[in-house]
Each structure stands twice: as structure tokens, then as C-alpha cells.
Amino acid sequence: MAEHASGPRGGLASVNVLDVTPVRLADWEDHDDRVVIIRPRPRVPWYLLPIESLRYGLAVRRIRLDPIGSLAWRSSDGTRTVAEIVCIVREAIGTDAEPVEQRLGQLIRRLRQEGLLAYRDLDTVPGPPGQAVELPLT
């Protein structure tokens, strides 16, 4: 499952998303056993603030994940690869999660494009594994 699309974090041609280690960048809450991701305000230079403030104002600020996405988000602490997270989801949810590799691959790529998580060792991620960190949007 190679990643070919480029997004705000740049393209990663031929990177197998199952081999990456995702790390959360946004704050989140648990509501009724589901994760709600809280989109952070953009941190940009002053000259980009008007357009980024408008974009933030129009964006969904709270993203509620389904049970599969919630389990994947909780597991994306910077210590597990997507392949390991696939095993966790498959063990916890069973056949209802299938096709789990494709579902998690799409979710992880989308969350990265939205700037809500990063790939440890491929993106610049400060701080120790397991903690939410902030990356500048470029």
C-alpha cells in the first residue's frame, strides 16, 4: 500500500503506509468510547494569518471518529507502525473492520494531510514518542 498523493506535508512516493509510525499532533477527547479530534488553530507567520484564519473558520473543528478510527487514533502514539495498529484493530474488532489495511491506510493518510498526525522518521516530529506535538504547516 504505497502512498503517492502529495498533501500539505509533501509527497512520499512509494512509501508503504503500513511501514510508517504515525504520531498524533492534535489534542483529542473520548466521548462515548469514540475519539473526538480537536483541530488546532493554525500557527503561521503574521502575513498568512488572515487567509489561514478564514480557512480555520470554515473547517470542521471537531472530528468524531468511528470505533475503528478511534482505536487507530489511540494506538498512533509514535511507538507502533501502521501494520502493528492493523493487528490491534483486527484483534479488537474482528471481521467488521475488514478490509482493515485499506481503511486504516486511507485514514492515516487523510489525517496526515489534514496536519493532525505525522509520520515519525519521515516528518520532522519534535519530542518523545507518545506525546502530541506540533509541526509547522508548510
15-62 pLDDT, tens digit per residue, is 889 999 999 999 999 998 899 999 887 777 888 888 888 887 878 889
Q: What are the extents of the domains in the chain?
A: 13-114
For helices 100-113 and 82-93, what crossing angle results, to 10°?
Answer: 130
How large is the average pLDDT for residues 120-135?
Answer: 61
Cis peptide bond upstream of 128, omega within 30: no
What percent of the chain is modeled with pLDDT above 90? Answer: 49
Residues 6+ apart with CB under 8 A from 13: 2, 3, 4
- Region at 67 (left for phi over 0; alpha for psi -120 to 50; beta for the rest): alpha
Q: In the block, which residue shows the cell 467488521? A: 96
**What pLDDT sits at residue 49?**
83
Q: Provide the grid cell at 57.
A: 473558520
How large is the average pLDDT for residues 94-112?
Answer: 92
Per the model's pLDDT, the better-predicted residue between 95 and 131 turns out to be: 95
